[in-house]
Amino acid sequence: MPRYIDLATWPRRAVFEFYLPFDKPYFNVCTRLDITELLSELKKRKGTSIWLTYHYLALRAANEIEPFRYRLRQGKVLVHDVINGGSTFLLPNETFTLVYFDYAESFSKFMEGATRAVEEIRNGDGTFRPRHEDDARIHCTTLPWISFTSFSHARRWGREDSVPKISFGKFANENGRTLMPFSVEVHHSLMDGLHVGRYIARIEEMLAQPESFLD
């Protein structure tokens, strides 16, 4: 069951209250992830989507790092037990819609559900159906055309928009390694650079030994 943080005893209470009224309380970190070992592992798994695989790793790390499950609720902090995923999906007419997939710690179970969700969108009517009411997710997007070095997301000012936003970019080959731009944008009242650093470090750990996590 979701629970609320006891703000009276929360060590971050002063920081939380400081950033909460900001007009722009978000901060964004961009880096590049080394996906060389991941691509090598997926060559052994013909037909496995690299796109869904890196979404799985980002979502798994987000579930493991607790602040990524924090959400604002009328000045309080709700902690979800589990958060799921959502991503943009490009349509043949060059517009996009959204695809949503549930989290499963097991890679095979995640892929089964996520693949089914993608097929439903691919065979659907293309209607744009955002789920504003469901914040037990992270929001993702992919820009496979741009090896970006910075990123900024559209936001609705004046509302409790506290969902982390993740972006993946165009692969680049450097010195025999394959690197992927990666952006993380979060609400500063809910977490700090320390937590984003732990999140990225966890993803890097999984990318270094992908065979240990893609069960």
CATH class, domain 25-212, is alpha beta
Beta carbons of 118 and 99 less than 8 angstroms apart: yes
Q: Left if phi > 0, otherwise alpha if psi is -120 to 50, otherwise beta: which for 35?
A: alpha
Which pair of tokens denotes residue 200? 């990225």
79-112 pLDDT per residue, tens: 999 999 999 999 999 999 999 999 999 999 999 9
CA distances from 53 to 77, 106, 119, 170, 179 (A): 30, 12, 16, 15, 15
Phi, psi of 8, rounded to the nearest 5 degrees: -65, -30
pTM: 0.95
Closest CA to 10 of 72, 77, 68: 77
Q: Name the band, by pLDDT with cuts 50, 70 and 90, for residue 2.
A: very high
147-171 pLDDT per residue, tens: 999 999 988 777 789 999 999 999 9
